Amino acid sequence: MNNLVENLPFMKSKRLAFSLVAILILALMVPLFNQPYYTKLIARVCVFAIAAVSLDLIVGFAGMVSLGHAAFFGIGVYCAGILAQFGITSIGLVVPIALVVALVIGGVIGSISLRTSGLYFIFITLAFSQMIFFVAQGLRMFGGDDGFRLPGPTIWFDGISLSQPRVLAYTMIVTLLMVIFVTSRLMSSNFGQVIVASRDNPRKIRSLGIRPYPYQLLLFMISASICALGGVGFANLNEYVSPASISWVQSGEFLFMVILGSAGTIIGPVLGAAAFVCLEQLLSSWTDYWMFYLGIILMLRVIFLKSGLLGLLTRRSQ
Amino acid sequence: MSSNLLLEIVDLIKTFGAILVTNKVSLNVKPGELHALIGPNGAGKSTLINQITGELDANEGSIWFDGQMVNAMSISHRAQIGISRAYQVPQLFSSMTVSAHLNMAQIAKNHLGFQMWNPSVIHEGLSESLEMILSKVGLLHLANHPSSELAHGEKRQLEMAICLSSSPKLLILDEPLAGLGPSESAQMIELIRSLKGAYGILLVEHDMEAVFSLADRVSVLVNGEIISSGSVEFIQNDELVKAAYLGDELEAH
Amino acid sequence: MEQVFNGLQLGMILFLMAVGVTLTFGVMNLINLAHGAILMVGAFFIAFTTSTIPSFGLAVLAALFLVFTLAWLVEVLLVKHLYSKSHLDQVLATFGLSIVLNDGVIMIWGREPLYVNLPSWLEGAVQITPGFSYPLYRLAITGVAILAGLALWLLLTKSRLGMQIRGGAEKREMIGALGVNINFLFTSVFALSAILAALGGIMLGPMISVQSGMGDPLLILSLAVVVIGGVGSLKGALYAAILVGLVDTLGRMLWPVMFGDIVGNIVSNSAIYILMAVVIAIRPSGLFGRRISV
């Protein structure tokens, strides 16, 4: 077990490991102080972190830039919402259904998109997420463009529901930890090695006897499912379901989180999501036009920083 | 298809538009033999290799490997049945260590790519057989180094090690000596010599001394055609070959 | 019949945008997600200039000049750094630029949509056939787009710069070998693509309400055009643009009739992407594209 923990991709330095544990302890303590604003903030970070980690699998590890992950996020949001409309709110039902729906749609989108690469892949993932956006927008019985209020929060059991900030926060923290654990194991396995090799040199991996497509497709489907998990959390966080969660701006924000933190590291995107939420909160408290400044920060980050936050942290501790 | 041949190419033809790049080429490699393919630049050696490995499709003719016709097989399928290629420019995985490359070759060959839960065995260290391969090519001391930090000669050695880790039947070596200094060359030549008998080898090279020292048979490709094929002595004395090759490289030896 | 014309028109605007995308990617390997925002800025500029300059013609020129300046600034400050970076970096940086522009216009002009007034000599309708008349302005736009297309064609086939651009779009390695002034070439291509997009925006300005984000749906549609036509192919961009314009416009009439209101609406919006998915499935590099090597 010790050996396993040491081999997780991000556990390269002791100092980093300690800092992460410290952050985790802090995060676990916050919901105990009766401050719903900060508690929900923790939940928000976790929701985005889950989405960012799922995207990192495709962008960082598989080396393919997807501009359409908001679609899977939105699938999670709408699953939570639509099921709630029909009275299904038990977490034991909502989560598996969202996972399966995202898995299947991810399979359909992936099977077509993965036949392309590079520029085409970027465009086609964007296009597919637009299609899903239009479907959501067109569902007039579910609010159409405006969306609808979440009729009932997803619940663990009677009395403990995700509409309670503390419950939401702890649920999301635990979910995030599970996601980090599962994805780390996945990418440390043989499967992960194949994915990375296919990114580094597709020609060579073929000459060794492996066709990348089935592996990439499976990873894409897993990534879609995990992203939907974040979507379920998001629906409960906002207590609202709307197509805005499927916009390409949302996809772009997820990419920002991945690169802000350092792609291909799993922990990096988590840090990126945290940084993004902090930026979001800080900027919007100063000005109405926080997106403007976010865009500038984004451009500056691309031009001036070579690696993301994780890169900065691990370099210092070496 | 003669059953005792490892690789057999029969009347292979390849055109790029109006240009005939492979002109009714026939060639074979016996198990355990080292068959060298020589020829001036632009003769079509790379194109021929690409057709054997599957990176290019031939227009006409057939390619047989180990009793099967492989013309319709994908690159990865051909690799699975035992065709392994060491590229002229070493094709490596820039983010991986030396050991990880050998590990990957094994994962590919043994169909272990869908193991998704257990940490890849590379995290615990190399297996004995892979360690032996690393040591054979002389890279054991660099096992945990990122491949991006290797010198050119070391990358060549790694390329060879990767091939060997796939448990191949046929090794296609594409100019393994190019760019190597004298001592590195000598090392590589001896390495290749040690592989004779255990594998069928198709060696594409310009270094004539190496070719004549290693080859069991030699074929000469000029303008997409095999103009001569036979033992080393036969080729060294063949007038056709001397004329086509301008004689310089042969006479020097 | 009117819809056919509308479709062709949409196709021409998409063509202008798609050419920009395909050239910048083909020649400079640059993905520019801010292209839609540039179209929007073009529309805002014309709204601004027509409200301050009485002559429509002058207003158009002024707007074009403003766009050119902006494109030059953007290239020097941002785009220059992106040529050597990865696709991910380019996507993010130009994404950042697009949200800066989208919010920037709100900062300057507010959230209310703007309207552009047409001069009287462009108003009214033209009789094409007895019983069918078509708005003059829309015809004018189509004319302008065709002219722009012709001018582009002339530039690309008859001038030296044009040859360099075409060569670069087909085979990027050629540019270095030809000893071309790379900086000038790249800046020119970027400026050209920006002007084309902004021209689209300028022409659209009087037809639809000018507001933040108006260019983004068109950007995504133009990406679909480029994918269908094939990256790096100008012929592909033209044919695909017309195809997409027609399919989209005519489809919006057709699908609700075939599938009913709700489904028809969804299909109307998604039809182009379904088309794109089909094209990719059959020919992964687009109808006229060169094979993108993996």
ipTM of the complex: 0.90
Cα–Cα distance, A312 to A13 (Å, whole number): 13
Residue C28: pLDDT band with limits 50, 70, 90: confident
What counts of helices (H) and strands (E) characterise chain C?
A: 12, 2
Q: Which chains touch A (3 or more CB pairs under 8 A)?
A: B, C
Measured between beta carbons, the chain C residues lying within 8 angstroms of A67 are 91
What is chain B's length?
253
Q: Count how many pairs of residues, chain A against chain C, have C-beta atoms within 8 Å.
A: 139
SS3 (DSSP) at B86: strand
Q: Which residue of C has its CA nearest to A137?
A: C266
> Is the CB of A213 inside 8 Å of chain C's CB atoms?
no
**A254-271 residue pLDDT tens:** 999 998 888 888 888 999
**A170-217 residue pLDDT tens:** 999 999 999 999 999 999 999 999 999 999 999 999 999 999 999 999
Picking from B215, B141, B232, B153, the residue whose alpha carbon sits closest to that of residue B188 is B153
Q: What is the pLDDT of residue A194?
A: 96
Measured between beta carbons, the chain A residues lying within 8 angstroms of C31 are 119, 122
**B31-62 residue pLDDT tens:** 999 999 998 888 889 999 999 999 999 999 99
Residue C233 one-letter amino acid: S
Positive or negative: CA dihedral A130, A135, A138, A141: negative
Measured between beta carbons, the chain C residues lying within 8 angstroms of A297 are 96
Residue C276, exposed/middle/buried by CB under 10 A (0-12, 13-18, 19+)?
A: buried
Q: What is the pLDDT of residue B252?
A: 47
**B98-136 residue pLDDT tens:** 999 999 999 999 999 998 888 887 777 778 888 899 999
* Min Cα–Cα distance to chain B from A199, Å: 8
CB-CB under 8 Å, A291 with C87: no
CA distances from C146 to C23, C60, C149, C200 (A): 18, 17, 5, 12
Sheet with B225-230: strands ordered across = B83-86, B170-174, B200-204, B34-38, B217-222, B225-230
CB-CB under 8 Å, A200 with B96: yes
Lowest mean pLDDT among A76-90, A126-140, A143-157, C193-207: A143-157
Lowest mean pLDDT among A35-39, A243-247, C110-114, C171-175: C171-175
Cα–Cα distance, C159 to A285 (Å, whole number): 53
Tell me how far apart the terminal alpha carbons of chain B are, to the nearest angstrom. Answer: 36
> Which candidate from A186, A188, A208 shows the least CB-CB separation from B166?
A208
CB-CB under 8 Å, C88 with A124: no
**What DSSP state is assigned to residue C230?**
-
3-state SS of A167-216?
A: HHHHHHHHHHHHHHHHHHHHHHEHHHHHHHHHHHCHHHHHHCCCCHHHHH
C279 in any annotated domain: no
CB-CB under 8 Å, B123 with A209: no
Cα–Cα distance, A45 to A26 (Å, whole number): 13
Residue B201 forms beta bridges with which residues? B34, B171
**A10-57 residue pLDDT tens:** 556 677 777 778 888 888 887 777 788 888 999 999 999 999 999 999
**C248-293 residue pLDDT tens:** 888 888 888 888 777 888 888 888 888 888 887 787 777 776 643 3
Average pLDDT across chain C, whole number: 81
Tell me if A151 sits within 8 A of A163, measured CB to CB: no
pTM of the model: 0.89
Cα–Cα distance, A61 to C54 (Å, whole number): 57
CB neighbour burial string for B100-126, b if at least 16 within 10 angstroms, e if fewer: bbbbbbbbbbeebbebbeebbbbbeeb
Q: Considering its fold, how many domains does chain C have in total?
A: 1
Query: Where would I find the beta strands (DSSP E) of chain B?
Result: 7-16, 19-29, 34-38, 60-65, 68-69, 83-86, 170-174, 200-204, 217-222, 225-230
The CATH superfamily of B7-252 is: P-loop containing nucleotide triphosphate hydrolases (3.40.50.300)
Tell me if B214 sits within 8 A of B192, measured CB to CB: yes
Q: What is the pLDDT of residue A317?
A: 45
Q: Does pLDDT of A111 surpass 90?
A: yes
Residue B45 is encoded by which pair of tokens? 């050696």
Q: What is the pLDDT of residue C178?
A: 65
Sheet with B7-16: strands ordered across = B19-29, B7-16, B60-65, B68-69
Residue A152 one-letter amino acid: G
What average pLDDT does this structure show over C175-201? 79
> Is the CB of A123 inside 8 Å of chain C's CB atoms?
yes
C15 in any annotated domain: yes
* Min Cα–Cα distance to chain A from B48, Å: 16
Q: What is the pLDDT of residue A13?
A: 67
Residue C174 is encoded by which pair of tokens? 């050629």
Which position has the higher pLDDT, A223 or A304?
Answer: A223
> Is the CB of A139 inside 8 Å of chain C's CB atoms?
yes
- With both helix axes pointing from N to C terminus, report the angle between A212-238 and A70-85 in degrees, rounded to the nearest 10: 50
Q: What is the pLDDT of residue A4?
A: 43
Q: Which stretches of chain A are DSSP H helices?
A: 2-7, 14-29, 36-56, 70-85, 91-113, 118-138, 165-188, 190-200, 202-207, 212-238, 248-261, 267-286, 290-304, 309-316
CB neighbour burial string for B154-169, b if at least 16 within 10 angstroms, e if fewer: bbbbbbbbbbbbbebb
A interface test, pick of B91, B116, B124, B148 with most A CB neighbours within 10 Å: B116
Tell me if A76 sits within 8 A of A234, measured CB to CB: yes
**C221-253 residue pLDDT tens:** 888 888 888 877 777 888 888 888 888 888 888
Residue B9, exposed/middle/buried by CB under 10 A (0-12, 13-18, 19+)?
A: buried
Measured between beta carbons, the chain C residues lying within 8 angstroms of A296 are 96, 100
> Is the CB of A283 inside 8 Å of chain C's CB atoms?
no
Tell me if C186 sits within 8 A of A92, measured CB to CB: no
Q: Which residue of C has its CA nearest to A304?
A: C81
CB-CB under 8 Å, B96 with A204: no
Q: Does pLDDT of C66 surpass 70?
A: yes
**Number of other residues whose CB lies within 10 A of the CB of residue C178:** 12
Tell me if C34 sits within 8 A of C98, measured CB to CB: yes
SS3 (DSSP) at A160: strand
Q: Does pLDDT of A3 surpass 50?
A: no
C256 in any annotated domain: no
Query: Which residue's entry shows tokens 């916009």?
Result: A247
Q: Does pLDDT of B169 surpass 80?
A: yes
Residue B24 is encoded by which pair of tokens? 């009714």
In sequence order, what are the residues at sequence separation of 6 or more whose Cβ sits closer than 8 angstroms to the Cβ of residue A129?
A67, A68, A69, A70, A71, A74, A246, A248, A251
Q: Which chains touch C (3 or more CB pairs under 8 A)?
A: A
Measured between beta carbons, the chain B residues lying within 8 angstroms of A199 are 95
Q: Does pLDDT of A113 surpass 70?
A: yes
Residue A316, exposed/middle/buried by CB under 10 A (0-12, 13-18, 19+)?
A: exposed
* Ranges of each domain in chain B: 7-252
Kindly write down the DSSP assignment for every residue of C145-209, as one continuous string: HHHHHHHHHHHHHHSHHHHHHHHHHH-HHHHHHTT--HHHHHHHHHHHHHHHHHHHHHHHTTTS-
Q: Which domain holds residue C111?
A: 2-213
Kindly write down the DSSP assignment for every residue of C127-147, as one continuous string: EEETTEEEEHHHHHHHHHHHH
Q: What are phi and psi of C111, to 5 degrees?
A: -90, -15
Q: Which chains touch B (3 or more CB pairs under 8 A)?
A: A
Strands B225-230 and B68-69: unpaired
CB-CB under 8 Å, C224 with A292: no
> Which candidate from A128, A259, A263 shows the least CB-CB separation from C273?
A128
